Amino acid sequence: MPDMSVEPYRDITFDKDGDVDARQRDRLARLEVTDLVMFAHGWNNSPSVAAQLYSAFFAPFPGLLSASPGVRLGYAGVVWPSMKFTDEPVPDFKPSVFGPSTEPGLDEATQDALIELFPGHRATVERLARLLDEQPESETAFAEFGVLARQLAEVPAGGLESGFTDDLPQDEQGPPAVLYEDALTMCRKFTLALEETGAMTEQSGVRSFSLGGGLKKVWKGAKELLRQTTYYAMKRRAGTVGELGLGPLLGQLARSSPDVRVHLVGHSQGARLVSFALRGLPDGVRNVKSLTLLQGAFSHYAFAPSLPHSPHSGGALRSMEHRVDGPVVACYSRHDSALGVIYPLASSLAGDDASAVGPDKRWWAMGHDGIQAVGQTSRITLEQALRDGIPGSGCVNVDTASVVRRGGPPAGAHSDICHEELARVVVAAGRIGR
């Protein structure tokens, strides 16, 4: 485990059903602090990699609070079962942390991560890897690939996760294209989307990326189908862990340490996790003083009381911002191609016209343009937030594109979050030291 840049720091680990490590829970409760920043990672391959992320993100905090001697700040990293494909570079992290890219195939580290994430599916993962290696120019092979990839995302019989899938009402959101669209059609759509992100280059061994003239080049889109199917399952899991795990834990912390001010931070699907924790807060608990969402990989309408395209329906988190005794801050960047290009396509309905998906705001992510359709939401730039502060309550959108801008295809700047400026946003949102 890498050294942590701050103290006191605690890991807090949940399993896929939201059950917490009891020993870690008890150690967290014994922290003697005034404020506690709890950060939930998005996709990653191991607790060790999560610890590297937490160490890098937390590093600026002590310096930012050096003039606030009355603040005793504690740190916690939420660890939950997820994974990351190794071909997605993370700014400031050594490539060796995530392994080499073997596009469009699956390297051994990614196969191992899939097998660990989806127990009992070793044969399925191995067959998927063989198909990506062989790249047969056969519609039958793509149909088989689609069936196998989607088997990984199935909720086991009796599994808890089925109730935590949707950001919007089922009649507005499903059936999602990533699970129900014809597999070859979806692979073709992803191939075009990857071209838009810059992932399709001559270095990948494909000379032409138009969709005519053969199927071999479409296997790059097949790998993206597998990636997005996997991330769909993790999105569901994030909701489960948030509502059934982190939310009740915060309630226990309110009882054992009633004066501790909690500041929740989440990146990517971890942003969904900490947001769904609000649904799991016991009635009357008011210890969450701020919620900061970094490149949130869930619907920008999740907090909406009424959807623009369906006024009778609201998001899965409607009115949940009122459970925060402070602001809900959504940081977003136009340089995040994972959310700006790939996410809308994966989230769209089966049968939607691919050319219309991008402009259709029903499928946009919070990390692309912030929280939408919530009344009196403030919208400010990062520079304004750092100069003037952040409103003390309600929803606040902060355009962080001035710093969240680095990263290669296909994810773009999705993971470019370890910046002092973003640490300052967390401090400002929580009124830490004021």
pLDDT for the residue numbered 172: 58
Residue with tokens 């999740």: 302
pLDDT for the residue numbered 44: 72
Predicted TM-score (pTM) of the model is: 0.93
pLDDT for the residue numbered 409: 87
| 402 vs 340: CA distance, rounded Å | 16
| 206 vs 220: CA distance, rounded Å | 9
Phi, psi of 178 (to 5 degrees): -60, -25
Degrees, nearest 5: CA angle 112-116-122: 70
Neighbours of 279 (CB within 10 A): 16
Mean pLDDT by 10 residues, the chain (434 residues): 88 96 97 98 81 95 96 97 83 56 75 92 97 96 96 75 76 73 94 85 43 77 94 92 98 97 97 98 97 97 95 95 98 96 86 65 95 97 98 98 93 95 98 92
For residue 100, the one-letter residue type is: P
Q: Is the dihedral of CA 83, 357, 165, 51 positive or negative?
A: positive
Neighbours of 182 (CB within 10 A): 15
For residue 207, the one-letter residue type is: R
Assigned token pair, 426: 């967390």
Closest CA to 293 of 271, 312, 309: 271
